[in-house]
Copies of this chain bind each other. A is one copy, B any other.
Amino acid sequence: MSELLFVGLGLFDEKDLTVRALEELSRCEVLFAEEYTSRWGEGALRRLSERLGRPVELLEREQVEEGGKVLSALEGHSRVALLVVGEPFAATTHVSLRLSVEEKGHAWRVLHNASILTAAASLAGLSHYRFGRTVSLPRPVPGFRPTSPYDLILANWRAELHTLVLLDLDPKAGVFLLGGEALQRLAEMEREKKGGLFVPERRVVVVARAGSPTASVHVGRLTELEGKDFGPPLHCLIVPGPSLHFVEEEALRRSAPTQGTAPQGPVG
């Protein structure tokens, strides 16, 4: 019986791998990675490959979802790894692969790591226990401008909960929905839905490059932040609920752009 190891890379580069992950990877015979659910920091995959002294093959979305390449490797090797940015099973697509692995009679294990799902709230200083369901915001494309994200954020708001809004990305094409544009989308949805959620004075949060040396948190009214440039991706949004704990309130106040961003130095 062979084993597939799902390895979480954390949020930025090869140094975000855990000590255990590095040890385990050095014992794996075949190393795969994917970069379609998120992206690695510049040069990180190459440096990891050098550090491990062997190639890391980057798989396309279709290759992971169809599974053939990974499953073939498991037929000829006892230890195979798939490297995934963040936490491995945060993307449902990898649960499908693990089911295929089980189906073929192989084992799997996971090495957890940091995820934007928790890092964003941490950076903003908002309580993880006061978040409702996470919402994904797609890039607007002709003929596809769904407003369902608005409804989900509004449902959280009405339940007095914060919302983490993840922004659409296509790393292969180099296309990332950025914070300023995403806020414009939400303001557009407000004009259509008229739920009173994204009024001009609504306080919103942009978290840029969480987990990287240039991580930053920006807090302001929708009109202040929409369309603004927060630097390179990845970005995400947080829509705070209607009432904040005083610690949350203070954390947001200190993250306001006029007072500098919260993380004050590089990560690495």
Report the copy number of this chain in the oligomer.
2
Q: Please encode chain A, from 104 to 138, with 1 for each CB lying within 8 Å of some chain B CB and 0 for all others.
A: 00011111111101110111010111111110100
A122 CA to B113 CA in the complex, in Å? 11
A259 (CB) vs chain B CBs: closest residue: B102
- Whether A92 pairs with B122 at a CB distance below 8 angstroms is no
Q: Which of the four size classes fits the interface of chain A?
A: 35 or more
A16 within 8 A of B: yes
- Whether B99 pairs with A247 at a CB distance below 8 angstroms is yes
Given the contacts A132-B132, A254-B102, A122 and B88 also touching, CB distance less than 8 Å:
yes
A226 within 8 A of B: no
Interface hit among A19-27, A52-60, A182-190: A19-27
- Whether B136 pairs with A254 at a CB distance below 8 angstroms is no
A210 (CB) vs chain B CBs: closest residue: B112
Most central of A210, A248, A262 by chain B CB within 10 Å: A262
Chain B residues within an 8 Å CB radius of A115: 114-115, 118, 128
- Whether B263 pairs with A20 at a CB distance below 8 angstroms is no
- Whether A268 pairs with B87 at a CB distance below 8 angstroms is no
- Whether B92 pairs with A245 at a CB distance below 8 angstroms is yes
Chain B residues within an 8 Å CB radius of A129: 92, 133-134, 136
- Whether B117 pairs with A114 at a CB distance below 8 angstroms is no
Given the contacts A117-B118, A133-B132, A265 and B99 also touching, CB distance less than 8 Å:
no
Interface hit among A3-11, A172-180, A230-238: A3-11
- Whether B128 pairs with A131 at a CB distance below 8 angstroms is no
A199 within 8 A of B: no
A102 CA to B263 CA in the complex, in Å? 11
Chain A positions within 8 Å of B, measured between CB atoms, are 3, 8, 10-11, 14-20, 22-23, 87-90, 92, 95-96, 98-99, 102, 107-115, 117-119, 121-123, 125, 127-134, 136, 155, 159, 161, 210-211, 245, 247-248, 250-251, 254, 262-265, 267-268
24 contacts between A and B (CB under 8 A): A10-B18, A10-B112, A17-B18, A18-B19, A18-B113, A19-B22, A87-B118, A87-B119, A87-B122, A92-B127, A95-B125, A95-B127, A99-B125, A99-B251, A107-B264, A107-B265, A111-B267, A112-B122, A113-B113, A114-B115, A115-B128, A117-B117, A129-B133, A129-B136
Which 9 residue pairs spanning A and B have beta carbons closest together? A89-B122, A112-B114, A107-B264, A15-B20, A15-B19, A112-B119, A115-B118, A95-B125, A87-B118
